[in-house]
């Protein structure tokens, strides 16, 4: 696949976006739900307001015609996933949250 495109009406944190990012593919997605939290417009992909096919086409076409730009976005997306969303990073965040909750519970007696 050259470009991953996702245009849902609503979304949490779509696995399709994460998988495309991890696979070094440029992503064009609607700016809905949690997508803007993981995809930074112009840095790790392209975000589109609404679901207008013309706007999606305007974002997709340059990525099909400019291999270097598509590669740049794909590599940046891959780096973001590795840095922020790896299993180790997620496990560390859970451990930190549990530690904070235990400290808070010890202080309040709950």
Please answer whether residues 65 and 71 qualify as being in contact, where contact means their C-beta atoms are separated by less than 8 angstroms. Answer: no
Instruction: Please check whether residue 48 is in contact with residue 29, taking contact to mean a CB–CB distance below 8 angstroms.
Output: yes
Q: What is the pLDDT of residues 57-103, one digit of tens each?
A: 999 999 999 999 999 999 999 999 999 888 888 888 889 999 999 99
* Ramachandran angles phi, psi of 28, nearest 5°: -120, 120
Q: What per-residue confidence (pLDDT) applies to 43?
A: 96
**Which CATH architecture does the domain made up of 4-85 adopt?**
3-Layer(aba) Sandwich (3.40)
Name the pLDDT band for 9 (thresholds 50, 70, 90): confident
pLDDT at 88: 86
pLDDT tens string 25-55: 999 999 999 999 999 999 999 999 989 999 9
Q: What angle do helix axes 67-84 and 15-22 make, rounded to 10 degrees? A: 110
pTM value is 0.80
Reduced to 3 states (helix: H, G, I; strand: E, B; else coil), residue 97 is helix
* φ, ψ of residue 17 in degrees (nearest 5): -65, -45
């Amino acid at each position: 696949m050259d470009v991953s495109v996702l245009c849902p009406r609503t979304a949490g944190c779509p696995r399709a976006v994460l998988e495309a990012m991890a696979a070094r593919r440029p992503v064009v997605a609607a700016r809905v739900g949690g997508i803007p939290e993981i995809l930074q417009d112009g840095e790790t992909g392209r975000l589109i307001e609404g679901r207008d096919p013309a706007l999606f086409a305007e974002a997709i076409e340059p990525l099909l015609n400019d291999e270097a730009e598509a590669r740049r976005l794909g590599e940046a997306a891959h780096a973001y996933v590795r840095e922020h969303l790896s299993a180790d990073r997620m496990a560390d965040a859970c451990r930190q949250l549990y530690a904070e909750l235990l400290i808070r519970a010890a202080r309040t007696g709950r």
